[in-house]
Amino acid sequence: MSDHTAIAEIIDASAALARRITGVGAAFGVGSGLVTDIYTGIPVPAAPTNALDLGPGVHVSRWPKTPAVRYLSATVAEWTWQIPMDLSLMGPDLPTLLSQGIEMFAAYSEMFAAHSQLCRASDGTPRCNSALITAADPRQDPPTLEFTLTVIERLNLDIQPGGTL
């Protein structure tokens, strides 16, 4: 049986994990219903359109573009996703933004490195091989730190190579 991508669950797990970081007061994902926020006890909610306007300390994990695909064999592939994440900060001037940004980049990098397999399937197998922060960029309007979470998901496509039409 073929694996199916768990990208919605992975995105919500990234929001739930970010919520554990000191300074993150609320976290939103895509609302898959598959991941529970340990602080609220409810599934990670989908981000409202104005999530970053709710105040400082709001984290949003968003849908990525299509993945880069690398075939490891005729039936197994690694899908590399670049998941965009945003964290609202205090701002409004650049020095304040940069000082907050450096501190939060370190906190995010450490948290995601410590939990790099992010979430597990019901049978205990990791949903992804690696989930690491690979970039961060401050933005002034609104005061936000934009992160890139690079996730490598390994899928058994269970295809029969050599088929014809």
**Where do the structural domains in the chain lie, given as residue ranges?**
7-156
In the chain, beta strands by DSSP E: 26-28, 58-61, 68-71, 76-88, 130-139, 144-156
* 101-146 residue pLDDT tens: 889 999 999 999 988 887 766 667 777 888 899 988 888 878 889 9
Segment 14-26 mean pLDDT: 92
pTM: 0.88
- For residues 158 and 152, the answer to whether their CB atoms sit within 8 Å is no
Position 122, amino acid: S
pLDDT of residue 163: 60
7-156: which CATH number, 3.20.20.80, 3.30.2000.10, 3.90.245.10, 3.40.50.11540?
Answer: 3.30.2000.10
Looking at the predicted structure, is the pLDDT value of residue 164 above 70?
no
pLDDT of residue 32: 93
Looking at the predicted structure, is the pLDDT value of residue 29 above 90?
yes
* 46-86 residue pLDDT tens: 999 999 989 899 999 999 999 999 999 888 899 999 999 99
**CA–CA separation, 65 and 137 (whole Å):** 18
